[in-house]
């Protein structure tokens, strides 16, 4: 048996034979084409075939996020400039596969040089190149294997096209050698409920068919396990899924202290099962890949779809969070050396105020047409003045419940003052970690700094929660940290009033809260706050939890 360590990216245990992603096609030696026109036709045919295949995958993708990523890839494939550049390469002596490879290598260099979100899209471009070359060579599309039985998928990294087509019934778990905890592989695995480990060095040395197990919470992968282990791990997982499917009802601690468990969504399609409400409706999907902003009617329809699905329940709509890792072409934002520190989130309203006011008007119109309890919040608020201006604008549009996200340390430090204007706060721990630790959230190599158990992040969360308690106003958390069942205890103990996460993560968090009293959560939070490192914070919280539950020491009941 061999133990490998990666980063847990999607919780749960899984075991089975491993199979790797079908390799990309090997580029044959260049042969100067005798008929350049035939090569140009081959490029066009490859584009048509690949775009059709990706569109089919997008249409059948189970998740809205996956579908959007695939449609973005279709747009890249159909980009006229790609075909024009391939024609020029063919006129220069390349055959179709080499022309495609050369042109996409140029695009790749531009994406890499841009850094941030675009650099993360490099794997989408590589995937597109492999698909187009395979189509030119008449080879099958590279990608997910189909051994005819459930298995663990291993890969260097996964392209969105691969992840979107994953069937949770067949792919029991996945392990990648590269990628980070905020890469699309990790986010989609979490959305699909497939246990996953990323950045697992050595996984590609494990032979196809070998039995392995993975723990998507701790990031531990064991290669060479027995058939009995495979049966036990998968039976445990199944029992856990079945037990959680039966769990329902609002989030509460063992002694009935309410902590609302809300869903993070990008569109109405993401609302699965019974949810207490939506704690983060990311509205960027509506604006992606467009040259013009969506019309009032289009926006109203999209918001109404979501509100109508949740009558009487809370829906927190986040206004457009453009820029940095979410570039939106229609805004024509200037190139910046540090986009994450530039004009993004609410700051876009400085340059394009009408985009925000048009969105607020559309949210208000959709809210008026349904019975949902609509709350609105702005991303990337840094100052009290920004909070005051935003909440005032919401009220002018007839939106009575207006809040702000805490994603910038400056805002966390002034949480009490923000509360003089805002009706609620919602902490976006993904960005708050990035800005507190000056560590790009897209950078897998800095994952240790982006760990929500970092005591400095917990301290900022504590002061936001305390500001909420003092003001008698709600303070929620809607970053990825809210989905960690152990960290949820810390958050509840600090006084956070709601946790918002991918709907599939809710049952595990509900279960964790239900097993502890609010006083136990407070002691767990204190233990984590006092720890000198994330490892110590985790251990202290786990120790406090065990001690409290098994009466091994201090009892708080």
User: In angstroms, what is the minimal distance from the CB of 506 to ligand PEP?
Assistant: 16
Q: Does 318 appear as a known binding residue?
A: yes
In this complex, which beta carbon is closest to Mg ion, that of residue 94 or of residue 322? Answer: 322
b/e burial code for range 179-200 (CB count within 10 A of at least 16 → b) = bbbbbbbbbbbbbbbbbbbbbb
How is residue 52 written in tokens? 């059709």
Which is nearer to ligand PEP, 165 or 428 (by Cβ)?
428
> What SS3 state is found at 271?
coil
Q: How far apart are CA 230 and CA 222, in angstroms?
A: 11
Tell me: is residue 407 an annotated ligand-binding position: yes
Q: How far is the CB of 117 from Mg ion (least distance, A)?
A: 13
Q: How far is the CB of 204 from ligand PEP (least distance, A)?
A: 30
Q: Which does 547 bind (CB under 5 to 8 A by kind): ligand PEP, Mg ion, none?
A: none
157 labelled ligand-binding: no
Of residues 136, 478, 516, 521, which has the active-site annotation?
A: 478
C-alpha distances out from residue 365 to 361, 369, 389, 444, Å? 6, 7, 21, 41
DSSP H helical ranges for 341-484: 348-351, 353-368, 384-396, 409-413, 415-418, 429-436, 455-471
Distance CA(354)–CA(348), nearest Å, equals 10
The answer on whether 431 is annotated among ligand-binding residues is yes
Q: How far is the CB of 184 from ligand PEP (least distance, A)?
A: 12
Instruction: Establish whether 184 is a catalytic residue.
Output: yes
Q: Which residues bind ligand PEP (CB under 6 A)?
A: 280, 282, 321, 407, 428-431, 478-479
CA 104 vs CA 140, 214, 510: distances in Å: 20, 35, 46
How many chain residues are in contact with Mg ion, going by CB under 5 A? 3
How many other β-carbons are positioned within 10 Å of the β-carbon of residue 86?
27
- Do residues 453 and 402 lie in contact, with contact meaning Cβ atoms separated by under 8 Å? no
**What is the footprint of Mg ion within residues 426-485 (CB under 5 A)?**
428, 431
Distance CA(65)–CA(511), nearest Å, equals 27
Q: Which does 493 bind (CB under 5 to 8 A by kind): Mg ion, ligand PEP, none?
A: none
If the CB atoms of residues 403 and 507 are measured against Mg ion, the closer one turns out to be 403
Q: Which of 366, 361, 363, 362 is nearest to 304 (CA)?
A: 366
Helices 506-514 and 485-494, axial angle in degrees (round to 10): 60
**Contact status: 195 vs Mg ion (CB under 5 A):** no
Give whichever of 127 and 407 is closer to Mg ion, judged by the CB atom: 407
Pick one of ligand PEP, Mg ion, none as the site partner of residue 429 (Cβ within 5 to 8 A by kind).
ligand PEP
Contact yes or no for 339/440 (Cβ under 8 A) = no
| Residue 394 among the catalytic residues | no
Shorter beta-carbon distance to ligand PEP: residue 185 or 523 = 185
**243 annotated as ligand-binding:** no
Q: Which of 98, 107, 136, 184 is catalytic?
A: 184
Residue 282's binding partner, choosing from ligand PEP, Mg ion, none, with beta-carbon cut-off 5 to 8 A by kind?
Answer: ligand PEP
Q: Smallest distance from the beta carbon of 495 to ligand PEP, in angstroms? A: 19
Q: Does 282 belong to an annotated binding site?
A: yes
- Point out the residues that are catalytic: 184, 478
Chain residues binding Mg ion by CB under 5 A are 407, 428, 431
């Amino acid at each position: 048996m061999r133990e490998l360590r990666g980063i847990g990216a999607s919780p749960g245990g899984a075991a089975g034979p491993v199979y790797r992603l079908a390799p990309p096609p090997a580029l044959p030696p260049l042969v100067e084409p005798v008929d350049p026109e035939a090569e140009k036709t081959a490029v066009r045919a490859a584009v048509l075939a690949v775009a059709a295949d990706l569109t089919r995958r997008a249409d059948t993708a189970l998740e809205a996020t996956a579908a959007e990523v695939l449609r973005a890839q279709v747009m890249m494939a159909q980009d006229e400039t790609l075909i024009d550049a391939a024609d020029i390469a063919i006129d220069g002596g390349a055959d179709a596969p080499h022309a495609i490879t050369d042109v996409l290598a140029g695009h790749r260099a531009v994406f890499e040089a841009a850094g941030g979100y675009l650099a993360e899209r490099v794997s989408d471009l590589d995937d597109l190149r492999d698909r187009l070359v395979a189509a030119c060579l008449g080879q099958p599309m590279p990608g997910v294997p189909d051994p005819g039985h459930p298995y663990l998928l291993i890969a260097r990294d996964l392209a969105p096209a691969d992840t979107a087509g994953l069937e949770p019934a067949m792919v029991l778990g996945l392990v990648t050698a590269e990628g980070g905890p905020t890469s699309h592989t990790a986010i989609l695995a979490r959305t699909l409920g497939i246990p996953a480990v990323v950045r697992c060095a050595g996984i590609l040395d494990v032979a196809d068919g070998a039995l392995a197990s993975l723990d998507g919470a701790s990031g531990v992968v064991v290669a060479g396990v027995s058939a009995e282990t495979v049966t036990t791990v998968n039976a445990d997982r199944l029992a856990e899924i079945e037990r959680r499917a039966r769990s329902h009802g609002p989030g509460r601690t063992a002694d009935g202290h309410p902590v609302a468990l809300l869903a993070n969504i990008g569109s109405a399609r993401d609302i699965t099962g019974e949810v207490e409400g939506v704690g983060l409706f990311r509205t960027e999907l509506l604006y992606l890949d467009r040259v013009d902003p969506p019309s009032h009617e289009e926006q109203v329809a999209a918001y109404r779809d979501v509100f109508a699905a949740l009558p009487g329940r809370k829906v927190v709509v986040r206004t457009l969070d453009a820029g940095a890792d979410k570039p939106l072409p229609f805004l024509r934002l200037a190139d910046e050396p540090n986009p994450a520190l530039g004009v993004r989130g609410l700051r876009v309203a400085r340059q394009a105020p009408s985009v925000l006011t048009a969105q607020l008007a559309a949210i208000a119109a959709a809210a008026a047409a349904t019975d949902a309890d609509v709350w609105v919040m702005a991303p990337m608020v840094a100052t009290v003045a920004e909070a005051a201006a935003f909440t005032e604008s919401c009220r002018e549009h007839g939106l009575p419940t207006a809040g702000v996200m805490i994603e910038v340390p400056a805002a966390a430090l002034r949480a009490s003052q923000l509360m003089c204007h805002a009706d609620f706060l919602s902490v976006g721990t993904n960005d708050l970690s990035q800005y507190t630790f000056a560590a790009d959230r897209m950078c897998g190599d800095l994952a240790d700094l982006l760990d929500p158990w970092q005591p400095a992040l917990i301290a900022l969360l504590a002061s936001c929660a305390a500001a909420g308690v003092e003001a008698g106003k709600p303070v929620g958390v809607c970053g990825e940290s809210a989905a960690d069942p152990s960290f949820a205890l810390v958050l509840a103990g600090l006084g956070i009033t709601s946790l918002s996460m991918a709907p599939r993560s809710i049952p595990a968090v509900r279960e964790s809260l239900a097993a502890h009293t609010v006083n136990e959560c407070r002691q767990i939070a204190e233990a984590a706050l006092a720890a000198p490192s994330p490892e110590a914070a985790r251990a202290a919280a786990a120790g406090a939890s065990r001690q409290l539950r098994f009466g091994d020491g201090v009892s708080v009941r």
